[in-house]
Structure 1
Amino acid sequence: MTLPSGPSSPPIDRIQQNLLAASERRLLNWLCAHMPPWVTPDLLTALGMVGAFAIFAGYAASGLHVDWLWLAIAGYGLQWFGDSMDGSLARFRRIERPSYGYFIDHSCDGLATLLILAGMGASPYIRMDVALVALAGYLLLSIHAYLAARVIGEFKLSYLSAGPTELRLLLIGMTLAMMALGYAPGLFGAVSGFDVFVGVIAALLVALFVIQTLSTAKRLAISDSQKISR
């Protein structure tokens, strides 16, 4: 995905330092080179959303039978493929639409995150309130990334050496643990171990938002002070 910039905006630098970034990029480049002509970036974006709906359905139906969680796992794979490939293919074919791509990609990201966490909350494994706090944490960090792209020209795609791909793998691992362990209340009664796991991730996301906001605010204050003193 190409980030938009206008005459009054600084050039935007994508910062991606997650553990799997280099190997994932090699795989995406190979897939782009072998993608048939009829596959378009918009089709891949739609495919990613199909994957997000599959994740929601798999979690939400897991109360009926645990095997529905396989649908959620398959959905993660489909969502990764569509979400990672749409911008990559546009850049590979040099058919980027920066403003359109930025708007659609991040609009879909927000909806996909809602579907995933709402599905978890509708499952018997994770409380809805815990899932919604995790959703709030993710959206807060996303808001920071979009604001930072505008005010300092940096679009951060990873934190603590982890990005969306590492997070998906973590959630797939949690889903496999759901299948293996089943649901059982933990030491805190109605709060399960899966609630604690997602709650810790939620707290980490909120903490990262606060830390990154303070850090960016300090940079901006220094930069603006230097401009005033000139």
Structure 2
Amino acid sequence: MTAQPKNTSSLDRIQENWLAARERRLLNWICSRMPPWVTPDRLTSLGMVGAFMIFTGYVASNFGASWLLLAIAGYFVQWFGDSMDGSIARYRQIERPSYGYFIDHSCDGLATLLILAGIGLSPFVTMDVALVALAGYLLLSIHAYLAARVLGEFKLSYLAAGPTELRLMLIVLTLMMMVLGAGPGLFGALSGFDVFVGAVGLILILLFVIQTLVTGKRLARAELHDS
């Protein structure tokens, strides 16, 4: 026998990041006060608007660091739309598990591309380094989607950090860009921002490798036990 996937409506959501409990209370409070015309699809669209704001802010920072304020505002818009679309669907019990899972995570992939492409097109981080971070994030996302298929578990956080913590980290990074500017590189051709973003990307890739090995061993034991 092989491990059978669960339907997306019965996935076990594993969220162990630092801010998860406080964020969930805040989101439930907002859901209870949200007018009926605010629908999950509109919130998903709002999240994508936020991602385009982030992209535009980083690219426009080539003309002035004050444009980074647009990127910071975009992070808050993107957080609101991305966090609220599924939350309000669950709160109102109007979930469409397969549709919601597909659209939400497709938009997540596009939003991540826009954010890191924008960072790579800014004067602060080279595109090569931004692509390493993008590869790491997408690899870890692939692991989460595969684990949902074979284990019925959807892991939303790693090392006690999830999407919200990553957004906060990027907001702090963006504020540092505004304060420090795009000066000469500290390590040859690489700036301090390059080193930071590249290190995060490498950590994500390492997490993907470790999680792949752990999940592979878990599946092997399960199938050996069932055979």
How far did 1:129 drift? 0.5
Aligned equivalents of 1:9, 1:131: Cα separation in 2: 34
Aligned equivalents of 2:95, 2:187: Cα separation in 1: 50
In structure 2, the gaps of 5 or more residues are none
Aligned equivalents of 1:124, 1:186: Cα separation in 2: 11
Paired residue for 1:191? 190
Q: Which amino acid aligns with 2:52?
A: F
Aligned equivalents of 2:80, 2:98: Cα separation in 1: 22
Q: Matched residue pairs, number?
A: 221
Say whether 1:112 aligns with 2:111: yes
Q: Percent identity?
A: 74
Paired residue for 1:149? 148
Deviations 1:18-53 (A, max 9, x none): 000000000000000000111100000000000000
Say whether 1:103 aligns with 2:99: no
Paired residue for 1:22? 21
How far did 1:154 drift? 1.0
Q: Which amino acid aligns with 1:192?
A: S
Q: Which amino acid aligns with 2:25?
A: R
CA-atom RMSD in angstroms: 0.8
The alignment partner of 2:94 has SS state of coil
Aligned equivalents of 1:185, 1:96: Cα separation in 2: 50
Q: How does 1:26-175 map to 2 (within 5 A)?
A: 26-175=25-174
TM-score (norm: length of structure 2) = 0.96
Q: Which moved more, 1:28-37 or 1:8-17?
A: 8-17
Aligned equivalents of 1:12, 1:218: Cα separation in 2: 21
Aligned equivalents of 1:74, 1:130: Cα separation in 2: 24
Aligned equivalents of 1:101, 1:69: Cα separation in 2: 31
How far did 1:153 drift? 1.3
How far did 1:186 drift? 2.9
How far did 1:227 drift? 1.2
Paired residue for 2:201? 202
The alignment partner of 2:154 has SS state of strand
Deviations 1:147-195 (A, max 9, x none): 0011011110000000000000000000000000001223322200000
Q: Which amino acid aligns with 1:182?
A: G
Say whether 1:9 aligns with 2:9: no
Aligned equivalents of 1:144, 1:213: Cα separation in 2: 7
Aligned equivalents of 2:207, 2:34: Cα separation in 1: 37
The alignment partner of 1:188 has SS state of coil
Aligned equivalents of 1:53, 1:74: Cα separation in 2: 11
How far did 1:12 drift? 2.0
Paired residue for 2:179? 180
After the TM superposition, which segments of 4 or more aligned residues of structure 1 sit over 4 Å from their partners? none
CA contact (8 A) 1:185 1:193 kept: no
